[in-house]
Amino acid sequence: MTQRLRFRTSIVLSCFVATNALAHEGHDHPHEAASAPQQMVATAAGPEANSFVADGVTYQWKHRPDLGLQPEAMVAAAKPGLHNNADEDPETGEVVTVVANYGLVKLDQQMKSWSLVDDQDPHFAGGMNSHGMDCFTIDGEVYYASASTNTQEVVVSKRGKVIARLESPKGTEFDNPGVNAYYKSGGRFVPCDVVWVPTAKRLLVVTGYSNGDFAISARRVDGAWKWDGVAFGGRIQQGGPFLTGHGIELKITEDGIETVQIASRGHGRLYGFTPNGAMINLNATEGQYYAQLHNAARPCNLDFQGDLTFVPLLDSLPSTNGVAPVMVLKNFESTGSLIPAEFDDLQFMRHMHGLKTVRRDRKLFAITLSWRNGGENGQGKLNDGQIAIFEAVATQ
């Protein structure tokens, strides 16, 4: 079941061209440090580490090292810099992502092992990644969209056959003059995540590693993909809502309403929008159009299962002993957590970047992807990019 949201809309904040320094990939600059929030909706990692409560039942996370076996070449490519998220093919049930300098990979429906997608375009084995990933269906055909921070493009493919490579907009494509002016002046374009919005029939892309910090649209027109139409957001220093818009996902309510949710990493907030960019009051707090997480939270992405929201954090919380958790939320309140680095052989999964939940035989699994911080490794605080699979097991 999906969560039913009560919301009201407001006018979208204006967008301006920023002039401050650029944010580098993988971290925020000091000027992005958030002030302490006036209100925290989700206040902790959860009632107990590595468990969560749903519908009155407590579930414990169990690491499944027998699942998700990886070829040695994939591990070798991921450890220097896995910076990814993944998504599920709606037709085959395979989970897919792109590992930079290795290729487009799939996890079989039984989640036994990863392998390269057959007959894929050579472009996937180059330097691109899937910092954000979405699988979707148009007219009965499945497409994959990858937001690649490495190569600064959104790659749309039909199961590995590249259909389009959307590079930086020119500044004439959108219905927002501020966004157009930013790109027309040569503003940096670094796509962080992408999602398909079925009713609007467009891709929405967040561009957080840049002064733009926008959500922008792409559509398929006469068989060709191009930037076009809705654009909104903007960096908080310039009057917009975002401080590194990092993850974007679609939530569909019980009555069929599409809600676009965006994880704004630098100040630990989750925002909601209609597909046309009107802001939604997610938590029904008067005058506050976002859900504020813990003030140390740096959310990377979002994943939904029923009325639960899973939020991988880049860094630790005060209660997580220096390693990053995945927060489990219900109605934007904490109901538990998953902390991969606390499990045997996963102690180097210190920064959580991506997560995809899947259901198999009525069981819930979480595929977690961690980010490798090379700077920390150089200082002796080892961590690397790993992928691990967990099963949610009900306790009595």
Per-residue pLDDT of 171-208, as tens digits, reads 999 999 999 999 999 999 999 999 999 999 999 999 99
- To the nearest whole percent, how much of the chain has pLDDT over 90? 81
In the predicted model, is pLDDT for residue 31 greater than 50? Answer: no
- Whether 28 is in a domain gets the answer no
Closest CA to 48 of 337, 361, 369, 344: 337
Report whether 166 contacts 218 (CB < 8 A): yes
- Whether 30 is in a domain gets the answer no
Give the mean pLDDT of the chain. Answer: 89
- Whether 150 is in a domain gets the answer yes
Which helix (H) or strand (E) segment holds residue 217: the answer is: strand 214-221
- Whether 34 is in a domain gets the answer no
pTM of this prediction exceeds 0.95: no
In the predicted model, is pLDDT for residue 45 greater than 60? Answer: no
Q: pLDDT tier at 80 (50, 70, 90 boundaries)?
A: confident
Average pLDDT for 234-245:
94
Q: What DSSP state is assigned to residue 265?
A: G
Going by C-beta distance under 8 Å and a sequence separation of 6 or more, which residues neighbour residue 383? 348, 349, 350, 351, 370, 372, 373, 376, 377
CATH number of the domain enclosing 134? 2.120.10.30
What is the token pair recorded at 184? 């027309």
Say what the pLDDT of residue 253 is: 78
- Whether 263 is in a domain gets the answer yes
- To the nearest whole percent, how much of the chain has pLDDT over 70? 87
Say what the pLDDT of residue 27 is: 53
Going by C-beta distance under 8 Å and a sequence separation of 6 or more, which residues neighbour residue 55? none
Higher pLDDT, 331 or 149: 149
Instruction: Dump the DSSP string for 31-87.
Output: GGPPPPPS--SS-SS-SSTTEEEETTEEEEEEE-TTSSB--HHHHHHHTTT-----E
Interval 121-153: pLDDT, tens = 999 999 999 999 999 999 999 999 999 999 999
- Whether 45 is in a domain gets the answer yes
Interval 353-393: pLDDT, tens = 999 999 999 999 999 999 999 999 999 999 999 999 999 99
Say how many domains are in the chain: 1
- Whether 1 is in a domain gets the answer no
What is the token pair recorded at 272? 């909601």
Closest CA to 106 of 68, 76, 77: 68
- Whether 3 is in a domain gets the answer no
**Residue ranges making up the domain that contains 367:** 9-20+39-394
